[in-house]
């Protein structure tokens, strides 16, 4: 029996197979494995109370200082967790001499520049592209990540907030994490409040066509209250207090009219969002027992249309049905939604609606038309 294996596979009741330490031949093999199976980042070790789950934004995500002539680097992998925290992954094999020193400076460069070079839209576009390249539906991948009471726009708002606040996570991933790197990780965690720094060791064991991967996380510390703050649930009072601070009287009247339509005199349930910076509310529709959320009102001063979330859902799943809905909103002067918006999440500002003398009537007619289509389903 081989020495130094440390891992055994029990086959049936009578056969014990010793697994031998293996290695990743190329860094690209490492990248592809994590891109396909982000579960290997063991979110339950990173946060045992609230295990992290991931969506891949992109492999080789570009980043720079934005200065003229500055080099453009590429982060090996970028993920987002369910709280919209950008997670930057740099991969090195244990044979790489840069594992101990060079990779630390590299990651600090990324951390210092990501909030100025990236936007929530940058990461969203990367996510959509990665999904398309792997044959996934972006809407489904995101829905699988999010809590039932969080909308996609609220999630991307969280991403925007985290970038602005520099709430990010840095992961050093290697098939062996040297003690020197573990000490650096511990030191960085002690010095930075908003940035979480971890090292993930992925040890590989092989035997014939069998492979076993054993992940271990180094550097985990209890999350600080500053980083672990719970999201608040908005309500009617807090929503309109926020509106009153930013909207004109006419815009506020339109917001109240839209909210009244959502409530339907108290006969319809409305769901309030949990955004950190912006509140939101939307009416609960369940055609054929399936929840859909075609439109929501946000304290950013906009009515958001969730065309992208309607794909493969009742009523507005087919593109022609979404086109018909889009045309209802295009009757508002200054609104010019296009077919390219039918798979996205466009918005109409309350200011635009208010600038049309008949804007309030037109937007309510569009919403009522939408409601009629749902009720017929």
Does residue 269 belong to any structural domain of this protein? yes
Does residue 223 belong to any structural domain of this protein? no
Element (H, E) at 153: helix 152-165
Q: Three-class SS of residue 244?
A: helix
Q: Within this chain, do residues 299 and 167 fall inside the same structural domain, yes or no?
A: no
Report the C-alpha gap between 180 and 195 in whole angstroms: 20
Does residue 347 belong to any structural domain of this protein? yes
Q: Within this chain, do residues 209 and 252 fall inside the same structural domain, yes or no?
A: no
Does residue 229 belong to any structural domain of this protein? no
| Dihedral-angle region of residue 341 (phi above 0 means left; psi in -120 to 50 means alpha; beta otherwise) | alpha
Q: Within this chain, do residues 179 and 44 fall inside the same structural domain, yes or no?
A: yes
Strand-pair category, 86-92 with 168-174? parallel
Calculate mean pLDDT across residues 268-284. 84
* C-alpha dist (Å) from residue 351 to 242, 248, 300, 329, 347: 16, 8, 11, 14, 12
Task: Please return the burial class of 209, using the count of CB atoms within 10 Å of its CB with bins 0-12, 13-18 and 19+.
Answer: exposed
Residue of 223 and 22 predicted with greater confidence: 22
Q: Within this chain, do residues 318 and 368 fall inside the same structural domain, yes or no?
A: yes
Q: Within this chain, do residues 164 and 59 fall inside the same structural domain, yes or no?
A: yes
Q: What percent of the chain has pLDDT over 70?
A: 91
Domain end call among 186, 218, 250: 218
Q: Within this chain, do residues 74 and 127 fall inside the same structural domain, yes or no?
A: yes
Q: Within this chain, do residues 207 and 241 fall inside the same structural domain, yes or no?
A: no
Report the C-alpha gap between 352 and 12 in whole angstroms: 69
pTM of the predicted protein model: 0.61
Report the C-alpha gap between 182 and 270 in whole angstroms: 48
Paired tokens of 244: 């009153």
Q: Within this chain, do residues 177 and 265 fall inside the same structural domain, yes or no?
A: no
Which residues, at least 6 apart from 111, have a Cβ–Cβ distance to it below 8 Å? 88, 166, 168, 170, 195
Domain end call among 183, 218, 253: 218
Does residue 226 belong to any structural domain of this protein? no
Q: Within this chain, do residues 265 and 193 fall inside the same structural domain, yes or no?
A: no
Q: Within this chain, do residues 164 and 250 fall inside the same structural domain, yes or no?
A: no
Q: Which domain holds residue 66?
A: 7-218
Q: Within this chain, do residues 262 and 186 fall inside the same structural domain, yes or no?
A: no
Task: Say if CB 38 and CB 190 are below 8 A apart.
Answer: no
How confident is the model over 116-170, as pLDDT tens digits?
Answer: 788 888 899 999 999 999 998 898 899 889 887 778 888 888 888 888 878 899 9
Residue of 100 and 347 predicted with greater confidence: 347
Q: Within this chain, do residues 15 and 161 fall inside the same structural domain, yes or no?
A: yes
Does residue 228 belong to any structural domain of this protein? no
Query: Residue 59 above 60 pLDDT?
Result: yes
- Provide the number of structural domains found in the chain: 2
Domain end call among 173, 188, 218: 218
């Amino acid at each position: 029996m081989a020495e130094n294996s440390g891992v055994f596979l029990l086959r049936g009741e009578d056969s014990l197979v010793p697994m031998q330490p293996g290695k990743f031949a190329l860094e690209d093999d490492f990248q592809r494995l994590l891109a396909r199976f982000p579960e290997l980042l063991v979110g339950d070790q990173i946060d045992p109370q609230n295990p992290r789950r991931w969506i891949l934004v992109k492999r080789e995500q570009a980043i720079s200082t934005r200065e003229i002539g500055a080099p453009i680097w590429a982060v090996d992998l970028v993920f987002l967790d369910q709280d919209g925290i950008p997670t930057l992954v740099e991969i090195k094999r244990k044979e790489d001499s840069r594992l101990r020193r060079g990779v630390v400076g590299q990651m600090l460069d990324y951390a210092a520049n990501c909030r100025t070079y990236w936007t929530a839209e940058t990461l969203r576009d990367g996510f959509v592209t990665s999904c398309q390249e792997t044959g996934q539906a972006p809407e489904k991948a995101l829905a699988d990540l999010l809590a039932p009471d969080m909308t996609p726009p609220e999630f991307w708002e969280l991403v925007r907030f985290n970038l602005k606040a520099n709430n990010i996570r840095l992961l050093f991933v290697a098939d062996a994490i040297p003690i020197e790197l573990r000490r650096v990780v511990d030191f960085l965690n002690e010095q930075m409040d908003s940035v979480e720094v971890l090292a993930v060791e992925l040890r590989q064991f092989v035997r014939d066509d069998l492979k076993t991967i054993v992940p271990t996380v180094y550097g985990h510390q209890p999350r600080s209250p500053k980083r672990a703050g719970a999201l608040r649930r908005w309500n009617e009072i807090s929503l309109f207090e926020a509106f009153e601070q930013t909207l004109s009287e006419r815009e506020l009247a339109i917001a109240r009219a839209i909210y009244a339509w959502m409530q339907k005199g108290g006969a319809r349930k409305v769901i309030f969002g949990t955004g950190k910076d912006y509140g939101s509310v939307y009416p609960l529709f369940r055609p054929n027992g399936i929840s859909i959320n075609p439109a929501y009102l946000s304290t950013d001063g906009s009515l958001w249309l969730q065309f992208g979330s309607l794909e493969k859902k009742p009523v507005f799943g087919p593109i022609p049905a979404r086109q018909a809905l889009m045309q209802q909103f295009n009757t508002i002067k200054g609104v010019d939604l296009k077919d390219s918006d039918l798979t996205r999440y466009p918005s109409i500002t309350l200011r635009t609606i208010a600038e049309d003398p008949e804007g309030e009537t037109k937007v309510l007619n569009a919403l009522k038309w939408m409601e009629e289509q749902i009720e017929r389903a």
